[in-house]
Structure 1
């Protein structure tokens, strides 16, 4: 019995020693495969960023492989008595692990996603594409990996005594441990001080969750949380990759048409408000001009909706644009053409996207309403005065007017309500029997008031006799929901239903006939339309935008993009697909109800993912 017990201990001891060396060489193998992540990702420009990359590469894969050894192979060494059977089990497990890692590198280099339910569905979809065509190579790769693991297993077992005598296991473990600890300490500092060359590497490797310690540092007086939030807001998202915008130098056929441009943004206005009862002026204007019936904002969020309008790019690029303070090609081109700028907002353009990137802060200060409270009436009055003065100059003008009454409908305003009962006609101490009706009526009243202001805009353009030389665009940044989807969603920025994304788009373009366009369009299309049809750019739109010219849309267009830095939203006929940052997805019908057993087409998603990374700098 004693001999038998000692024999068991010897076998287990040998298997544990062998397992350590087996794990070490698989760490090396995992690191070699991990170089694919490094090659595909943005190369850090600073020495500290490069040091972090080296430490995290060694430390992360060392921790990852050894962690699986501790969780699986180490306890198996006690449970599987036969050394041959145990080694076979380890070989199978290692082959599986490296195969999954190989698949993950393929998904990352192809879709910029690590393995997730979406990626697995795409791989197993059976749809023919480059992604799952390469998946077929696993039938060759897996047997090769298995054979190499068998050779490694046998060689290590035979050389186990020699390797054990070298006493290098401790120093090797120390190196991996220091790399792991060092990488996390560097990231803690970088996260606290928004050091981009390090924080941009956060998601490069699979199952990577770098440590942060902002709460601990704040508790000990090392950082100020409010100051941190302010710096983060000013700098943009710290891990945002570098962007090429535009991709190539722009060239133009001539100086363009020299027509004026007016864009009126009615914040929070959804498409079904454009009726003869609620918005008669806008409805009549749409009838006599170009009405895009199926138009979508780039997001359900204020900032991203405006970003998509002026940049013609999906919301995923927003933080990179902010980090580099890149001006929209539309605005910079208009400045070069000596356009006069008239910018008017009822809240002085309080959103940072305006004064940080889109417009110059000095210009905003000159032309804003200069009032503390939002005042749409004053914004329109100031605009009317400015238009009259701008007409005295021979240069064309660009004007942008932002109206906030609709978005701020719950606050009421200095207008007489048409639809009752509403919040303004109901005493605050009165029990609300139908909150939804009160909110909707208040919203309609705000939309009706905004329509009155739009009527003044149209009248002014006619009085100044400039309508026939002015491109007029009336739209919104997003819609507003009153829980029509039954998901307890109110307002905006809560889901991607048509109530929050579908908005009006009415364009008056001189010498263009009135028409109703039923093809799906997007805010992404405004920039290429103005650049091509107004400014006569000869560079193709794919070099500076993700949209299409509204007057020359592809009849085969199957989808448009929306979303933000967290979610990818693909709008198609009768479906909306939402993919989060982890690759999890949901497919909804036209009423924003989940569809059973529905997955996005692989070919469509491949096109979407390509569009979402096309403007980033090419990898080294």
Structure 2
């Protein structure tokens, strides 16, 4: 029994020693494969950035492989009595690990994503995509990796005593440990100081989660959170990818129609409010003009919705546009055609998207003192009366009462009980909020009468294109997910908005096919400004006048999410490649998967306007 115990102990000791060396050489193999991440990633320009890259390359793969050894092979050394069986098990583990890493490097090179549910579905799907076909060839290397692991296993077992006598294990472990700790300490400093040459490398390697300590530093007075947030917002613009907008030189067949254009943006108005009992005037106006009843904003917040409407691009390009100081192509072309510009808002136009992007190069009329939609309409009326009759104009009016419905306003409530009622005790909160929202929408409906009366009085209606829409919708927890307002999910309540257009000499019609904010720019560029350039050169949308366009999806989202809207489903893909599929009521479909070739097309569209690296 004593002899048997010592024999078991010796076997385990040998297997553990062998496992250390087996892990070491697999760390070297993983590091060599990891150079593919380095080649495909942006090379750091500073010495500290390069030092962090070297430390993280050595430390991360050392920690990653040794971590799998501790979790899998080390316990197995005690459980598997046969050294041959144990070595075979280790070879299988090593083969699976290196194959997975090889697949991950290819995913990173192809999609700039690490392995995720989306990437695995691409790999295992039966669809014939270029990516899928290329990945299948990678499995040819599996037998080669397995054979090399077998050779390594046998060689290490034969040389184990000789290697053990060298006593280099501790120095090697110290090198990996120092690199691992140094990389995390450097990242803590870089994250607090927004040092981009380091922070941009955060997701270069798989399963990489660099340490941060902002809360700790703030607690000890080493970090000013407010200043940090301001610098973070600025860095998002400065560090954005370079954009090509438009992709080619624009050409035109004639000077265009010279029609006036008025864009009426009703903040937060969802499409189902355009009905006789809530907005009777706008509802009647929609019946007499072009009404797109299945229209979606390009985002569920103010910036995303406005950006898509004026640029015709997904909002993922927003920071790049701000960084390059690119004005919307549509407005730039209008300015070259001699259009006069006027922009007015119930909240002012001091938001960054107006100042840094949409109207960054426009000389706009100064607003008079005072706030609110009546003041904005009054300013617009005064501006309109001053416009010369022989010069076309473009004007933008942002009406904010619906967005600010909780604050109430100087109007008589039509729907009761509401937040402004004398007695709200015991009333359903949802009813109070929704009635207040309807009251604000009804009030805006009356304000629209003033705008159109002014156009008619000045004889401008027959030569003015009027676009009535919203930046996003507003939800009152219809999805049952405790979602209120906007910017909380991508349901139709937050994305589906009105799109009503008065186009002189057009016949009233109702369009039920899916349309998007991204479609307005191509519509104006083609039908007003007479461009001959292909739509794909300057927009991700398609003209609203195009009959039965072949489109499988609409794009929405922001910097973090890609949202693909289809007739029966909405697919949300986050920046890590995880995806969720929802039905028309925004209830998650656990077993549903998007058509992956279509999803690849949508992801390509989100990167098409970037300058190639």
Q: TM-score, normalised by structure 1?
A: 0.91
Q: CA deviation at 1:249?
A: 4.3
Which residue in 2 is equivalent to 1:22?
22
Q: CA deviation at 1:403?
A: 0.7
**Contact 2:243–2:324 (8 Å) recurs in 1:** no
**Contact 2:330–2:521 (8 Å) recurs in 1:** yes
**Contact 2:244–2:611 (8 Å) recurs in 1:** no
Equivalent position to 2:396, from 393, 396, 400: 400
Distance 1:171 1:270, change over 3 A: same
Tell whether 2:469 aligns with 1:472: no
Q: CA deviation at 1:512?
A: 3.5
Q: What secondary structure is seen at the aligned counterpart in 2 of 1:613?
A: coil
Equivalent position to 2:457, from 445, 460, 463: 463
Distance 1:387 1:131, change over 3 A: same
Deviations 1:466-512 (A, max 9, x none): 23333221100111122223333222222222111110001223444
Tell whether 2:511 aligns with 1:537: no
Q: CA deviation at 1:30?
A: 1.7
Which residue in 2 is equivalent to 1:132?
132
**Contact 1:241–1:616 (8 Å) recurs in 2:** no
Which residue in 1 is equivalent to 2:247?
248
Which residue in 2 is equivalent to 1:569?
563
Q: CA deviation at 1:91?
A: 0.6
Tell whether 2:41 aligns with 1:41: yes
Q: What secondary structure is seen at the aligned counterpart in 2 of 1:137?
A: helix
Distance 1:85 1:435, change over 3 A: same
Q: CA deviation at 1:395?
A: 4.0
Which residue in 1 is equivalent to 2:516?
522
Tell whether 2:235 aligns with 1:235: yes
Tell whether 2:275 aligns with 1:275: yes
**In 1, Cα distance between equivalents of 2:475 and 2:232:** 30
Instruction: Give unpaired runs (5+ residues) of structure 2.
Output: none
Q: CA deviation at 1:144?
A: 1.8
- Spell out the pairing of 1:64-463 with structure 2 (5 A cutoff): 64-236=64-236, 241-246=240-245, 248-253=247-252, 254-360=254-360, 363=363, 366-371=365-370, 374-391=371-388, 394-424=390-420, 426-427=421-422, 430-463=424-457
Q: CA deviation at 1:138?
A: 4.8
Tell whether 2:534 aligns with 1:558: no
Q: CA deviation at 1:518?
A: 1.6
**In 2, Cα distance between equivalents of 1:176 and 1:338:** 65
Deviations 1:210-242 (A, max 9, x none): 11111222233322111111222333378x641
Q: What secondary structure is seen at the aligned counterpart in 1 of 2:264?
A: strand
Distance 1:224 1:277, change over 3 A: same
**In 2, Cα distance between equivalents of 1:77 and 1:334:** 74
Q: CA deviation at 1:165?
A: 4.5
**In 1, Cα distance between equivalents of 2:111 and 2:215:** 34
**In 1, Cα distance between equivalents of 2:153 and 2:611:** 42
Equivalent position to 1:587, from 546, 565, 581: 581
Q: CA deviation at 1:601?
A: 1.1
Instruction: Give unpaired runs (5+ residues) of structure 1.
Output: none
**In 2, Cα distance between equivalents of 1:105 and 1:247:** 32
Distance 1:542 1:183, change over 3 A: farther
Q: CA deviation at 1:141?
A: 2.4
Q: CA deviation at 1:209?
A: 0.7
**In 2, Cα distance between equivalents of 1:467 and 1:42:** 53
Which one is further off, 336-345 or 47-56? 47-56
RMSD: 2.6
**In 2, Cα distance between equivalents of 1:612 and 1:57:** 30
Q: What secondary structure is seen at the aligned counterpart in 2 of 1:136?
A: helix
Q: CA deviation at 1:555?
A: 2.6
Distance 1:224 1:616, change over 3 A: same
Q: What secondary structure is seen at the aligned counterpart in 2 of 1:390?
A: coil
Q: What secondary structure is seen at the aligned counterpart in 1 of 2:386?
A: helix
Q: CA deviation at 1:17?
A: 3.0
Tell whether 2:502 aligns with 1:508: yes
Length, aligned pairs only: 612
**In 2, Cα distance between equivalents of 1:183 and 1:336:** 52
Distance 1:357 1:163, change over 3 A: farther
**In 1, Cα distance between equivalents of 2:326 and 2:338:** 20
Q: What secondary structure is seen at the aligned counterpart in 2 of 1:76?
A: helix
**In 2, Cα distance between equivalents of 1:100 and 1:291:** 52
Q: CA deviation at 1:322?
A: 4.1
Q: CA deviation at 1:34?
A: 2.4
Distance 1:110 1:168, change over 3 A: same
Deviations 1:155-201 (A, max 9, x none): 22233344445444444333333332232222222211222332222
- Spell out the pairing of 1:471-490 with structure 2 (5 A cutoff): 471-490=465-484
Distance 1:15 1:543, change over 3 A: farther
**In 1, Cα distance between equivalents of 2:266 and 2:559:** 24
**In 1, Cα distance between equivalents of 2:362 and 2:213:** 38
Q: What secondary structure is seen at the aligned counterpart in 1 of 2:397?
A: strand
Q: What secondary structure is seen at the aligned counterpart in 1 of 2:140?
A: helix
**In 2, Cα distance between equivalents of 1:46 and 1:458:** 59
Q: What secondary structure is seen at the aligned counterpart in 1 of 2:510?
A: strand
**In 2, Cα distance between equivalents of 1:21 and 1:165:** 13
Which one is further off, 558-567 or 75-84? 75-84
Q: TM-score, normalised by structure 2?
A: 0.92
**In 2, Cα distance between equivalents of 1:535 and 1:46:** 47
Q: What secondary structure is seen at the aligned counterpart in 2 of 1:442?
A: helix
Q: CA deviation at 1:97?
A: 0.9
